Amino acid sequence: MTTLQYEQNCSIMRFVGLFSGKWVLPIVYHLIEAKHPVRFSQLQKALAPIPQKELSKHLKLLEQHQLITKQIYPEVPPRVEYQITELGQTLESAIQSLGSWMELYEKNINEK
């Protein structure tokens, strides 16, 4: 099996490909925790020091993968809000599990 075939057939590798950005999980987690639409500027403040360009790039990718929705309001100045989708909401337990594992890892490392 070639590396490409392995990556295409392995769900973990596909997951890593989808979430392979420093800011992707923090964005998703923040939108899950918010439980309501969040404006771009609110996201940027909450995730500081995320660069505007990075936030825009990741939001577009998450929207393409149907994990978030983007609502543009025809106002001046334009108002844009992002919200987690039902599909994106299903990541909550996985992200919490990763956080719990990290706490256990740090505890074990600090004890040595």
Give the per-residue pLDDT at 109. 86
Would you say 98 and 24 are in contact if contact means Cβ atoms under 8 Å apart? Answer: no
Residue 62 has pLDDT above 70, yes or no: yes
Q: Which residues of 65-99 are buried (b: 16+ CB within 10 A; e: fewer)?
A: eebbeeeeeeeeeeebbbbbeeebeebeeebeeee
Give the per-residue pLDDT at 9. 76
Residue 17 has pLDDT above 70, yes or no: yes
Would you say 84 and 28 are in contact if contact means Cβ atoms under 8 Å apart? Answer: yes
Q: What is the mean pLDDT of residues 60-69?
A: 96
Residue 52 has pLDDT above 80, yes or no: yes
Q: What is the mean pLDDT of residues 11-40?
A: 91
Instruction: Determine the Cα–Cα distance for residues 14 and 4; give it in Å rounded to an integer.
Output: 11
Q: What is the mean pLDDT of residues 33-48?
A: 96
